[in-house]
Amino acid sequence: MAVMPLPRGLVMCSFIWIIACFAATIGLSAPIQPTSGVYTPSVRAMLALLAVGACLLWPIARITYARGAWTPARVALDMITIMVAFHAIFWPLHLVTYWTAAHMMAIDLLLCGWIAATGAWIALAIRTGTRRTVWSMAWMAIVVTGVVLDAVGVQAPVPELAGPYAALLRLTPERTDSTAVPMWSVAIWPWILASGAWARVLLTAKRLPRTPSPATL
């Protein structure tokens, strides 16, 4: 079995996006009063921007670039690469916010779950051939709706269904409350969605002939 090369272009773009998000929200210099009350809103904004990169920019780039030769394994490698890049910056943020370890775990589950769901959507979109545009537009509509809801500060009745953005409002309290329990149902929901979507991807892949893998980006 051939070993797939690491998507070096994606690695580079991921870290450039992380640095840009950090600079745009937290900043490259420490504030005059470096307290959790100052950092927490900025960290929340940074997480929302990271989610935009993973759930909007990544699928746009991959669905535009990829052809029918892309396999679910190729998309899964992309997905794992993005998750690793995300974790390189995520857990140290615990040191500058009010959030407990339980809150951090819930946020981690939420964002990684939506990355996994996005990866499944990319794999399905690539496999649909001429219907790729329809799949792409549907996913973009879901993601953009979530971005708008978060931007105007509106919490959807069921935030689990509106992408990671509205759900982040519930999982990232701006004030300290060590007794607050994270809403685990909000964090776990995208993994249920991702599991079902990846099951569909694998069933679809079994019915299609194998094609050579394209060049790595």
Domain count, the chain: 1
pLDDT at 217: 57
| Per-residue pLDDT tens listing for the chain (217 residues) | 456 778 888 999 999 999 999 999 988 776 666 677 778 888 988 998 999 899 888 888 887 776 555 688 888 999 999 999 999 999 888 888 888 888 899 999 999 999 999 898 888 877 665 555 666 667 667 666 666 665 565 655 665 666 787 788 778 876 655 556 678 888 898 899 899 989 988 887 665 555 444 445 5
Q: Return the pLDDT at 211.
A: 47
Q: Is residue 64 part of a domain?
A: yes
- pLDDT on residue 87: 92
For residue 146, what pLDDT is reported? 65
Whether residue 216 is contained in a domain is answered as no
Q: Is 208 exposed, middle or buried (0-12, 13-18, 19+ CB in 10 A)?
A: exposed
The full 3-state SS of 136-149, as one line of letters, equals HHHHHHHHHHHHHH
Asked if residue 215 is part of any domain, the answer here is no
53 domain residue, yes or no: yes
Is 144 within the bounds of a domain? yes
Whether 213 maps to a domain, the answer reads no
* 124 lies in some domain: yes
Judge whether 15 lies within some domain: yes
Instruction: Report how far Cα 77 is from the mean position of its chain's Cα atoms.
Output: 14
pLDDT reported for residue 95: 84
Residue 166 sits in which domain range? 8-207
Predicted local distance difference test score (pLDDT) of residue 47: 92
Question: Rounded to an integer, what distance in angstroms lies between the CA atom of residue 188 and that of residue 183?
Answer: 9
pLDDT of residue 26: 86
Question: Which amino acid, residue 130?
Answer: T
- Would you say 83 and 18 are in contact if contact means Cβ atoms under 8 Å apart? no
